[in-house]
Amino acid sequence: MAVQTDDVAHLCCEISSLHHMKVAVNNSTTSALVAGGSILVGGLLGGPPGIAVGGVLGALFGWLTSGQFRPLPQILMELSPDQRQKLYDQVTFYLINLVWTNKAQLVTLVMGNATLQQQVTAALLNYVTRELGSKVCFGD
């Protein structure tokens, strides 16, 4: 079963590479910590004007780090075993009638069938959106 889970993860990496899929990196926690830290330090060093300056600097950092993306294949390779199993469960719903012996054969079978490729892509997008809570972007 672990081999098939890896095969499906590899297939999803191939599909996401083909479509140049990237995932928005959520830096809200980091931005909040930096903003809070900036306000605290500004308040300690400069009083009320320091709080304002710290807030502006923290907000600027949050704005600068928004819109950063990572390639989806990289994220898929970093999934935990439980996350990979959930991805496998969602994608194999469409692969139920396929028989494959290795990653290359699975990729060839799916890429050779436009409908199947669309279904697997949709399942992958659904997984990333719902399970990982991320936004997917297409293109270079």
DSSP letters for 20-45: T-EEE---HHHHHHHHHHHHHHHHHH
pTM here is 0.69
pLDDT of 28 higher than 60: no
- Nearest by Cα to 98 from 80, 68, 120, 81: 120
In terms of C-beta density within 10 A (0-12 exposed, 13-18 middle, 19 or more buried), how is residue 127 classed? Answer: buried
Listed by start position, the domains of the chain span 1-25+69-140, 26-66
pLDDT at site 26: 58
pLDDT at site 45: 80
pLDDT tens digits for range 44-94? 787 888 777 777 777 776 666 555 778 899 989 988 999 999 999 999 999
DSSP state of 15: H
